[in-house]
Amino acid sequence: MPDYQGRLDEIERAVDAGRSDLGALGFWELLSEAKRDPDAAAHAERIGRIDQKAFEARKRVLLPVWLGNLVLLVGTLVLLAAVAVALRVATGSIGGGPNPTLAGALLVVAAAGLSVTVHAPAHWLAGRAVGMRFSHYFLGGPFRIQPGVKVDYGSYLLTPAAQRATMHAAGALASKVAPFAVFGWAYVLHWQRGWDLLPSWSLWALLGFGLLQIATDVVWSTRRSDWKKVRRELRIAREVEGTGEPAIG
């Protein structure tokens, strides 16, 4: 049986001393072993505590989960309202006459914004549905501007791997659905108005943005972000199932 206690003692001492690079401390290697070992469940809470200490040492801007969810919910509602306003601007219901150019621009901006605001809450909803806990919202992503929600690794470890994969997939899927949902809403009204409601470039831009996100996932996310984690957890689920041993959780 792996010496989780001794290795966690060593890692926690290093974190308490100010070292927050968990990879260099061997934490992620230990975590990978723990995911495949049902006996590691006894150490799940401590693993989560160590991860949380290192996380808080690295991140300067942290929000409570309830506040982060509230901000992103308000943002989502505002952006959905912007889509509705854009379509009324296109018809001339507001603004003193039809303005398809402004309407098209608003639609594209709203779709891009929705891809951001629905991402982390989708992770949170999927995780909470299977019993995971979350500690904070933070700024992450390649440009450190994407809102992220921090999972508590104690509860994460105690959740079966297939359900962990679902949590990781939820945010990625929500972001991809957003521009296509806006496109569908706009396209139906465009069709009902005899194909004369919106400039064609705006509809192509919505489709292009959605397809660009999918391409980015294929090229980048499968190697470094959500889809990499989905594939990792599904692989662990298959390995655990193949051994006949009960999965953690």
Find the mean pLDDT for residues 219-243: 88
pLDDT confidence bin for 240, thresholds 50/70/90: confident
* Cα pseudo-dihedral 145, 147, 152, 156, rounded to 10: -100
Mean pLDDT of the chain: 92
Find the mean pLDDT for residues 119-142: 93
Whether 189 has a pLDDT exceeding 80, the answer reads yes
* Cα pseudo-dihedral 117, 156, 224, 226, rounded to 10: -40
pLDDT of residue 249: 45
For the purposes of burial, counting CB atoms within 10 Å of the CB of 59, is it exposed (0-12), middle (13-18) or buried (19 or more)?
A: middle
Find the mean pLDDT for residues 65-86: 98
Please report, for the chain, the start and end positions of each structural domain, with discontinuous segments joined by +. 1-58, 61-243
pLDDT of residue 248: 54
Express as a percent the part of the chain with pLDDT over 90.
81
Find the mean pLDDT for residues 106-124: 97
Find the mean pLDDT for residues 216-242: 89
In this predicted model, which residue has the larger pLDDT, 57 or 246?
57
Q: State in Å, rounded, how far the first CA of the chain is from the last one.
A: 19
Whether 88 has a pLDDT exceeding 80, the answer reads yes
Whether 242 has a pLDDT exceeding 50, the answer reads yes
Tokens representing 231?
A: 């594939």
Find the mean pLDDT for residues 163-183: 97
pLDDT of residue 245: 52
Whether 142 has a pLDDT exceeding 80, the answer reads no
Find the mean pLDDT for residues 235-246: 75
